[in-house]
Every structure is written in structure tokens, then in C-alpha cells.
Amino acid sequence: MTTEVQKMSSVTVRVPAKVNVQLSVGPLREDGYHDLVNVFHAVSIHDEVTARQARSITVSVTGGWAAEVPLHDGNLAVRAARALAERAGFGGGAELVIHKAIPVAGGMAGGSADAAGALVACDELWGLGLPREELMEIAAELGSDVPFSLLGGTAIGTGRGERLTPLPVGGPFHWVFAIADTGLSTPEVYKECDRLRGTAPVPEPKADEELLAALRNGDAAALGRRLANDLQEAALALHPPLAGTLRSGLDAGALGAIVSGSGPTCAFLARDAAHAAELAGVLAATPGTRTALPAEGPAPGATLI
Ligand code: ATP
């Protein structure tokens, strides 16, 4: 078995994008982070990470978003492969190829998805066989969204978002994602959120029981009403045209509309697949929107294909 794994010359892993159906942001902590209650939902927009045998760790990117992804050491997939090699005491390398379909800097955790994909792909390519819990630990060190990209499905994250509990979901839910023609930096959106809050007291973040029930019951109409994102106001302040995008989707009958994570991608909940296709047509024609992608959730986490 081990010999067979060691002979493997190429491994491909599919990783999903996410939307935060609830993102509750607590007060700014002394360490500069915020406590969060984060209800993550993985959706069927995927990157693919392929790892091939090589002497050192390198990365290249294909697909429509390739030009926006760094190829240096800051690439999250490279950082993930390095962290895994270090943890396992492995001296070899991997040629990583990312096929990028998740928008970059869109609030859909694309970089985190690639990190999760690289962890699973290199673990398999190198025949390490690390338990999932250990991959989850490395993932949490790489970034607060990386563990969820490994896990997939729907889950509630606490702390910085990295302590995860899977949630039962009665879906599927049908979504449309309006991808803006510009990106937003996650740290800048948090900074703007703090600035807008000023000195007003900020309550501790809390899960919305009605939203959890809507997920459990597969009740898209109720979920649409409960979508909530504490970063939305800050994302709208930094990029005002997003308000028009949200309005267009609601006017076209979306059950709910929300900025995804730190934005600027906007997520719209549809009644069914046909309604999602219809909404995507309307949103694609909205000014400031680069493209509109229908997708289903929940989707599985990082998976070998
Ligand atoms: P999140 O939703 O987790 O806040 P995001 O979806 O807004 O993240 P990403 O697409 O993950 O943003 O990219 C954030 C930044 O990370 C990019 O501007 C890019 O410079 C850098 N980055 C590093 N590695 C990658 C990668 N593999 N794919 C995309 N971006 C990457």
C-alpha cells in the first residue's frame, strides 16, 4: 500500500468556495483580532489543486482569475505545502498547479481553499497519511478560514472562526454570486468596521437560532430572511455600488441578499435552480458586476478526485 502511494505522480483535489450565512463580529480584542460567530456554508464553485512530484515546492495558476494570484512565497497553497512538509519532517517538493474558479479577494475564501487543497494533495502525493485532525491543526495555523475549506458542508465557527462544529442541513440551497469588478482587502474591511463602530459598546457575537433552524429545515425562505453579516456595512462604505447590486437581486425576487464575508462578492438565495439561473441573468447585467455564478450548497470540503 505504502509503495503504491509513493509511486503516485500526480494528485488532484477539489476545494469549495464558501459564503458566510451569518457573520457576527465581536469587539476588537487586544491582540487585534475579533471574536466571531461564523456560520460557514460551502458552495459548488471550486478550485482544483494538482500536486506533482518535484524536487522543490513551486506553484502556477490557470483559469480566468490566474493573473490576480501571487506566485511567490505568499501564495497560500505554497505556504500550506511548506507547513505540511515541516510538520512531517519531509524533505521533498511538489509542483502545485491551481485551476482557479473561485474569485480572488471576493470574500469567498479562495486562497484558504487552495491552502486546504494543497494540504490534502501533498499529504497524498508524499504518502504521509496524516490524520485529518492533524491537517486541521496545520490548517488553523495557516488562516482562520482554512479549516472550514477542509471540512466543507455547513459549520459554525467560533474564536477567530477556526473552532468548527458541523451543522445539520436540510438543503440543498440554490445561490447566485455576483462577482464585483474589483476586490476588497479583508483586513481593510475589518478596520472600516471598527472605525464605523467607534466607541459604541459591541455585544459578544452570538449564533442566530432561527437561522440555524432554517438551515436544519431546508427552509430557503426563512434562511433568506435571517442572512446577516456584521461586515456588510463596512464593505458597502468602502464600495458603495454594492448597495445597488444587492437591491437588483432583491427586486428580481431573491429570497435574501448579503455581502459574502468581507465582500465585495454578493450572495443571493434563490427558490430553486431555475430561479437561480434567472437571477444570474439579471445580476450579470448589473453595473459593476463582472459575472454572476449560480451554485448549490452545501458542498463537500477538500476532496481527492
Ligand atoms: P476570505 O473570504 O478568506 O477573507 P477572500 O476570498 O476575500 O478571502 P482570497 O481570494 O483568499 O480573498 O485572496 C486574498 C488575498 O490572498 C489575495 O489578494 C491574494 O493576494 C492572496 N493570495 C495568496 N494565495 C492565494 C491563492 N492561492 N489564491 C488567491 N489569493 C491568494
pLDDT per residue as tens digits for the range 9-31: 999 999 999 999 999 999 988 88
Catalytic site includes residue 123: no
pLDDT at 163: 82
Contact partners, residue 36, CB within 8 Å, separation at least 6: 23, 24, 25, 26, 144, 157, 158, 159, 160, 161, 205
Can you read off the three cell numbers belonging to residue 133?
485532525
Query: How does DSSP classify residue 103?
Result: P
109 CB near ligand 1 (under 6 Å) = yes
Q: Is the minimum distance from the CB of 256 to ligand 1 under 6 angstroms?
A: no
Grid coordinates standing for 44?
Answer: 459548488
- Amino acid 19 reads V
Ligand 1 mean position, distance from CA 253 (Å): 31
Pocket test residue of 69, 98, 114, 231 for ligand 1, highest count of atoms within 8 A of CB? 69
* Cβ neighbours of residue 25 closer than 8 Å, sequence gap 6 or more: 34, 36, 190, 193, 202, 205, 230, 231
Active-site residue, selected from the candidate residues 47, 114, 123, 145: 145
Q: Do residues 224 and 254 touch, judged by C-beta distance below 8 A? A: yes
Pocket test for ligand 1, best of 76, 192, 242 (most atoms within 8 A of CB): 76
Query: 45 exposed, middle or buried (CB, 10 Å; 0-12, 13-18, 19+)?
Result: buried
Choice from 20, 186, 188, 262 to test ligand 1 binding pocket (greatest atom count within 8 A of CB) = 186
| φ and ψ of 157, to 5 deg | -115, 135
**pLDDT for residue 89 is more than 80:** yes
pLDDT on residue 159:
81
pLDDT at residue number 6:
52
Exposure class string for 225-249: b at 16+ Cβ within 10 A, else e:
ebbbbbbbebbbebbeebeebbebb
- Torsion of the alpha carbons at 130, 136, 141 and 144, rounded to the nearest 10: 160
Check whether 179 has a pLDDT greater than 90. yes
Higher pLDDT, 72 or 101: 101
pLDDT at 4 exceeding the cut of 70: no
Q: Tell me, using a 6 A CB cutoff, whether residue 96 lines ligand 1.
A: no
Quick: pLDDT tens for 50-63. 999 999 999 999 99
Given pLDDT bands bounded at 50, 70 and 90, which one contains residue 105? Answer: confident
18 given a catalytic annotation: yes
Model-wide pTM > 0.75: yes
Does 215 score more than 80 pLDDT?
Answer: yes
For residue 128, count CB atoms less than 10 angstroms from its CB and return exposed for 0-12, middle for 13-18, buried for 19 or more. Answer: middle
> In the prediction, which pLDDT does 72 show?
85
Active-site hit among 18, 47, 123, 230 = 18
- Pairing type for strands 163-166 and 34-54 reads unpaired
